[in-house]
Amino acid sequence: MNKEIRALEPKAVWRNFADLNAVPRPSKKEEKVIEFMLSFGKKLGLETFTDAVGNVIIRKPATPGMENRKPVVMQSHLDMVHQKNNDTHFDFETQGIEMFVQDGWVRAKGTTLGADNGLGVAAIMAVLESDDLPHPAIEALFTIDEETGMTGAKGLEGGVLKGEILLNLDTEEDDEIDIGCAGGVDISATRSYREEPTPEKVRAYKITVKGLQGGHSGMDIHRGLANANKVMNRLLMDGFEDFGLRISSIEGGGLRNAIPRESQAIVVVDEIHDNAFAFEFNQLAATIKKEYRKAEPKMVITAEVTPVPHKVMELGVQEGITRSLYAAHNGVFCMSPDMEGLVQTSNNIARVQVGDGKIEVLCLTRSSVESSKTDLANGIRAAFELSGCEVELSGSYPGWTPNPGSPALELLRNKYEELFGDAPEVVACHAGLECGILGQNYPEMDMISYGPTIKGAHSPDERANITSVEKFWKFTREILANIPEKD
Reported as type and span, the H/E element at residue 94 is none
CA–CA distances in Å: residue 223 to residues 20, 85, 218, 331: 31, 21, 10, 9
434 is catalytic: no
Work out the end-to-end distance of the chain between its first and last CA atoms, rounded to an integer number of angstroms.
47
Secondary structure of residue 70 in the 3-state scheme = coil
Q: Are 464 and 106 in contact (CB under 8 A)?
A: yes
* Alpha-carbon gap, residue 278 to 304, rounded angstroms: 10
The active-site residue out of 116, 145, 146, 170 is: 146
Half-sphere exposure of 287 (CA within 13 A, CB side): 9
How far CA 315 is from CA of 190, 228, 385, 396, 426, in Å, comes to 17, 23, 17, 34, 52
* C-alpha span between 119 and 58 (Å, rounded): 17
List, in order, residues 6 or more apart from 77 with CB less than 8 Å away: 117, 120, 121, 142, 143, 144, 145, 146, 147, 152, 170, 434
Q: Cβ contacts of residue 373 below 8 Å, gap of 6+?
A: 183, 184, 185, 345, 365, 366, 367, 396
The per-residue b/e assignment along 220-245, b for 16 or more CB within 10 angstroms, e otherwise, is: bbeeebbbbbbbbbbbbbebbeebbb
Does the annotation count 146 as an active-site position?
A: yes
- In a 13 Å sphere around the CA of 435, the CA atoms on its Cβ side amount to 32
**Residue 415: other Cβ atoms inside 10 A:** 16
Which of these, 254, 305, 303, lies nearest to 280 by C-alpha position? 303
For the beta sheet containing 47-50, the strands, ordered from the edge strand earlier in sequence to the opposite edge, are 47-50, 56-60, 138-143, 72-77, 165-168, 446-449, 176-178, 425-427
The catalytic residue positions are: 79, 146
